[in-house]
């Protein structure tokens, strides 16, 4: 997309920022965090590749806000006018710091200084591998998303409790019938893919009184500050308590509450699911590397679940895959 086309698109749809949260697990403040799982905090050394992919594939982004506790990730270019290093204390309440809880940080993302009204939120394990137009994330200023009714998985190694808390607050503010009425055309649109439309139809026919969950793709989320404002107006108590919780608890809510709120309120444009989530395990390392090298997906998430028997070797292979991707 050339500069003229980019300017025209942003004029029509508004400026869009990128937000990514990052932590260096090698720092003493995180490695010594009580109750912290090593795989939740350890850095894979992939941020240089993350920056390169975003700059190559999303050149239209107005700003790239890198949220940290003051640490600077590898690949961050302070001379780049698009880059912003955002410290927690610049947008979070001081009595909530220091924090080791991603949910707490996510509760206040809309308060990042100079953040555009529309932004795409990445975790640092989410990568864009193919060029994407702004319309992939926002159409006519409205977030694009994939709405699919789903169940919640409760298991010792799952985020079921956290997911349930997000859904609890959706059901506290919307009825299932209200959601169906607002979103019938969107939920049944073939823009979601016919299988998803069929699944939503069956769910709407069978479940009339409550919403179990919206499928969470574990990929970047298109969000707006207006959504944050609306959710804070309705759910301030749980957001404030989450924001002051220094370590993640099962009763916390996350940014998926904001994303689910947009879906429930009908503030989205339906899209076909585009991307893939990977648990980083011995069984999937070959598939992960192949997806990166050949850009099999537009977006991927490589989630550290502690499933690599040789962590150093696994990271070496993934880094090599990103290097090979550039050479192809």
pLDDT digits (tens, 9 = 90+) for 196-253: 999 999 999 988 888 878 999 899 999 999 999 999 999 999 999 999 999 999 899 9
What region, left, alpha or beta, does residue 86 occupy, with left being phi > 0 and alpha being psi -120 to 50 degrees?
beta
pLDDT score of 34? 47
| CATH number of the structural domain 3-140+217-274 | 3.90.550
Q: What is the pTM of this model?
A: 0.91
Q: Is 240 helix (H, G, I), strand (E, B) or coil?
A: helix
Q: Which tokens in the block code for residue 293? A: 């090298």
Per-residue pLDDT at 2 exceeds 60: no
pLDDT the model gives residue 111: 98
Token pair listed for 244 = 């002051």
pLDDT tens-digit map of 192-211: 888 899 999 999 998 888 88
pLDDT of residue 89: 97
Give pLDDT, residue 151.
83
Q: What average pLDDT does range 184-189 have in this prediction?
A: 93
Residue 155's pLDDT is: 66
DSSP letter at 130 equals S
Helices 225-243, 256-265: crossing angle, 10 deg rounding: 140
- For residue 83, the cross-strand partners are 64
Interatomic CA distance for residues 247 and 255, integer angstroms:
16
Instruction: State what percent of residues in the chain have pLDDT above 90.
Output: 74
Q: What is the pLDDT of residues 259-303, one digit of tens each?
A: 999 999 999 999 987 899 999 999 999 999 999 999 999 999 999
Q: Alpha carbon of 190 to those of 117, 180, 193, 195, 287: distances in Å?
A: 29, 16, 5, 8, 29
Q: What is the dihedral of CA 47, 48, 49, 51, to 10 degrees?
A: 80
Block residue for tokens 């912290």:
36
**CA 326 to CA 178: how far, in whole Å?**
47
* 160 SS3 class: helix
State mean pLDDT over 81-101.
Answer: 96
- Tell me what pLDDT residue 17 has: 98
Question: Could you read off the pLDDT of 105-137 as tens digits, one per residue?
Answer: 999 999 999 999 999 999 999 999 999 999 999
User: Residue 310 contacts by C-beta under 8 Å, 6 or more apart in sequence?
Assistant: none
**pLDDT greater than 80 at residue 174:** yes
Helix (H, G, I), strand (E, B) or coil at 216: coil
% of the chain beyond a pLDDT of 70: 89
Rounded-to-integer distance, Cα 302 and Cα 322, Å:
13
């Amino acid at each position: 997309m050339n500069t003229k086309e980019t300017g025209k698109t942003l004029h029509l749809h508004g400026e869009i920022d990128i937000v990514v949260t990052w932590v260096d697990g090698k720092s003493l403040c995180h490695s010594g965090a009580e109750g912290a799982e090593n795989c939740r905090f350890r850095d894979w050394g992939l941020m240089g590749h993350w920056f390169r992919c975003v700059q190559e594939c999303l050149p239209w982004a107005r700003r790239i806000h890198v949220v940290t506790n003051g640490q600077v990730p590898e690949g961050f270019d302070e001379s780049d006018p698009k880059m912003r290093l955002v410290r927690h204390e610049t947008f979070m309440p001081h009595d909530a710091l220091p924090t080791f809880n991603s949910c707490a940080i996510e509760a206040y993302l809309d308060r990042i200084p100079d953040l555009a009204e529309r932004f795409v939120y990445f975790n640092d394990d989410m990568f864009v591998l193919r060029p994407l137009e702004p319309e992939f994330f926002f159409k006519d200023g409205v977030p694009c998303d994939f709405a699919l009714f789903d169940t919640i998985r409760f298991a010792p190694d799952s985020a079921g409790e956290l997911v349930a808390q997000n859904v609890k607050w959706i059901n506290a503010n919307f009825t299932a019938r209200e959601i169906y009425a607002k979103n019938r055309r969107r939920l049944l649109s073939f823009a979601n893919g016919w299988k998803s439309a069929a699944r939503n139809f069956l769910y709407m026919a069978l479940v009339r009184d409550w919403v179990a969950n919206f499928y969470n793709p574990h990929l970047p989320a298109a969000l707006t500050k207006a959504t944050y404002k609306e959710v804070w107006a309705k759910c301030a108590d749980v957001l404030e308590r989450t924001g002051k919780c220094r370590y993640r608890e099962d009763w916390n809510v996350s940014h998926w509450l904001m994303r689910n709120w947009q879906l429930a309120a009908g503030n989205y444009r339906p899209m076909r699911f585009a991307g893939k989530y990977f648990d980083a395990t011995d069984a999937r390392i070959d598939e992960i590397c192949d997806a990166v090298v050949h850009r099999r997906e537009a977006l991927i998430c490589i989630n550290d679940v502690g499933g690599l028997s040789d962590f150093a070797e696994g990271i070496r292979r993934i880094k090599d895959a990103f290097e090979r991707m550039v050479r192809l």
